[in-house]
Amino acid sequence: MSSDATPNPYADPVAFGQRMQIYRQRRGMSRPVLAGLLGKSPSWVKQVEAGQIQPPKLPMILRIAELLRVRDLADLTGDQSLHIDLFIGPGHPRLAAVKVAVDAFPFTADREAPSAQHLRHRLDRAWAARHEAPNHREVIGGLLPDLIRDAQLAVRQADTGTDRRAAMAILSEVYSLSQFFVAYQPDAALLWRVAERGMVAAQDSEDPHAIGVAAWLTAQAHRDSGPAHLGAADAVTLEALRYLEPRLPDADEHVRAIAGALQFEAGYTAARRGETGAAWGWWDKAEKTARKLPGNYFHPVTSFGRAIMGAHAVTVAVELHQGGESVRQAARADKSVIKSRPRRARHRIEEARAYQLDGQPDTALAALGKAHESAPETIRYNGYARRIVLEQTESRHPERRQRASELAVKLGMLAA
């Protein structure tokens, strides 16, 4: 074989340290920064990357994977038996039926489409179920196939431009509900079809609220796709805010709330990028918007309102890897006033991340237990929760290991 032949990566696999260095450099993170976030010295990071010391144990590998946003553990370790997607949950039993409804492309129909008022009533009930049911994916997964088909039919049978725009606004919101169901499941292509169709329908509706909601969800889809997509998340968020801001003086509460939700999304993305000043600056803007809403206001899609801002502050601090600050924000946040069960569970997960960052794993596990009590289907599909649980199943402390293992069984990560 000639000396310039392409090497076989499986014959001479890349070592763990080299993989870690590659992902760190792709993330644009220096050794001192990664070392500080791991509670290690820069020289330790250098030695691991150079292969001068043994690769760390699983808990540290999981923490490195989260910081470097490595989705599949096998990509970091090189061990093809460790295919664990840290940010994707299991496939829901109703995913196939929802996918069939999304992918269908009928041209004709032998029935009359439901009225816009009827669809609106069904959609409102579906949103309520999404916020109130502990098994919210199961509930909305059962409702979505018929909602998708009927909303599509309403658009096709609309007689006037006004009727068609109204039907498009409802269809866009149905796709938004679908995105909540499809997110963090093992079908990225379906997630993007839903997000893109929702955005197109919203634009065709010319409805500011529908456009804001679709942009809010599309920005999240970009951000959750990894560091390379943070710019796209920003572009969608900022363009939507430029569209909405001139309309806010005469807008209703829902439109003002979706603008506030988008302001927080800009802060969330900045925090993911490590931009402390920008992250908290956008949080301040969102908080000012929330204060202009009634005290008990709750946005039916995003949960935005005054009550959610404490939870949002925890998220910003956690994404910035500020352990002490995230714990302080968690202590200040009033989770009891968050109306949505899945959003309340999500906040408990963010609390767990805060306590894990602050070196309080027992408190982190307790927070995850409360998240499971609130909405089991939220924690089951959350990659951060799964990572913390998996890490603590390797704890040196028997009681902590036992608690983590019991929670892992509940989440379907370990056999009973």
pLDDT in tens, 233-278: 999 999 999 999 999 999 999 999 999 999 999 999 999 999 999 9
Angle among Cα 396, 400, 404 to the nearest 5 degrees reads 110
The larger pLDDT score, comparing residue 92 to residue 264, is at 264
- CB-based burial of residue 106 (10 Å sphere; 0-12 exposed, 13-18 middle, 19+ buried)? exposed
Residues 86-96, mean pLDDT to the nearest whole number: 77
Contacts (Cβ under 8 Å, ≥6 apart) of 91? 185, 186, 187
**DSSP code per residue over 154-177:** HHHT--SHHHHHHHHHHHHHHHHH
pLDDT-derived band of residue 365, with 50, 70 and 90 as boundaries? very high
Least confident of 19-28, 64-73, 74-83: 74-83
Higher pLDDT, 107 or 203: 203
pLDDT band at 224 (very low <50, low <70, confident <90, very high): confident
Predicted confidence (pLDDT) at residue 108 exceeds the cutoff of 50: yes
As a whole number, mean pLDDT of residues 96-100 equals: 95
Of 415 and 207, more confident: 207
Residue pLDDT, tens place only, 123-165: 999 999 999 999 999 999 999 999 999 999 999 999 999 999 9
Angstrom CA distances, 168 to 16, 150, 382, stand at 50, 12, 31
Residues 278, 267 contacting (CB under 8 angstroms): yes
Q: What is the pLDDT of residue 167?
A: 96
What pLDDT is stored for residue 157 in this prediction? 92
Q: Report pLDDT for 414.
A: 62
Structure confidence at residue 395 as a pLDDT band (50, 70, 90)? confident
**pLDDT average, residue stretch 353-371:** 94
Domains and CATH numbers, the chain: 16-77 (1.10.260.40), 91-206 (no CATH)
Q: What per-residue confidence (pLDDT) applies to 336? A: 67
Predicted confidence (pLDDT) at residue 207 exceeds the cutoff of 70: yes
Q: Compute the distance between CA of residue 403 and CA of residue 393 in angstroms, rounded to an integer.
A: 8
* Mean pLDDT value across residues 22-49: 85
Residue 6 has pLDDT above 70, yes or no: no
Q: For residue 402, give the H/E element and its range.
A: helix 398-410
Which of 184-188, 286-290, 302-306 has the lowest average pLDDT?
A: 184-188
Q: What is the pLDDT of residues 316-357, one digit of tens each?
A: 999 998 888 999 999 888 766 888 999 999 999 999 999 998
- CB atoms inside a 10 Å sphere around CB 201: 26
What is the rounded CA–CA span in Å between residue 377 and residue 380? 5
Q: What is the pLDDT of residue 85?
A: 54
What is the distance between the alpha carbons of residues 387 and 184, in angstroms, rounded to a whole number?
14
pLDDT digits (tens, 9 = 90+) for 185-202: 888 899 999 999 999 999
- pLDDT at residue 9 in the model: 36
Identify the band that residue 412 occupies on the pLDDT scale cut at 50, 70 and 90.
Answer: confident
Q: Tell me if the pTM is above 0.75.
A: yes
The answer to which of 57-66, 117-126, 178-187, 301-310 has the lowest mean pLDDT is 57-66
Confidence (pLDDT) at 10 = 39
Give me the chain's average pLDDT, please: 88
Nearest Cα residue to 351 out of 403, 395, 388: 388
Per-residue model confidence (pLDDT) at position 80:
59
